[in-house]
């Protein structure tokens, strides 16, 4: 993803961690589950 968006992997990790905190899930697996449940594909 980082390469396609011309961003560093650190930037992607930071954004993912911020989203995890904002929607109050515990980890990436729960984030993916949340996205699927919300039809965010």
pLDDT of 25 reads 98
pLDDT of 31 reads 97
Tokens of 24: 């109050």
pLDDT of 34 reads 97
pLDDT of 41 reads 75
Which pLDDT tens digits describe the chain residue by residue (41 residues)? 899 999 999 999 999 999 999 999 999 999 999 999 999 97
pLDDT of 37 reads 96
Give pTM, 2 decimals.
0.82
DSSP for 1-41, written as a single string? -HHHHT--HHHHHHHHHHHHHHTT-SSHHHHHHHHHHTT--
């Amino acid at each position: 993803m980082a390469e396609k968006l011309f961003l560093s992997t650190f930037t992607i990790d930071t954004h993912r961690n911020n989203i995890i905190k904002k929607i109050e899930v515990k980890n990436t697996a729960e984030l993916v589950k949340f996205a699927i449940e919300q039809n965010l594909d």
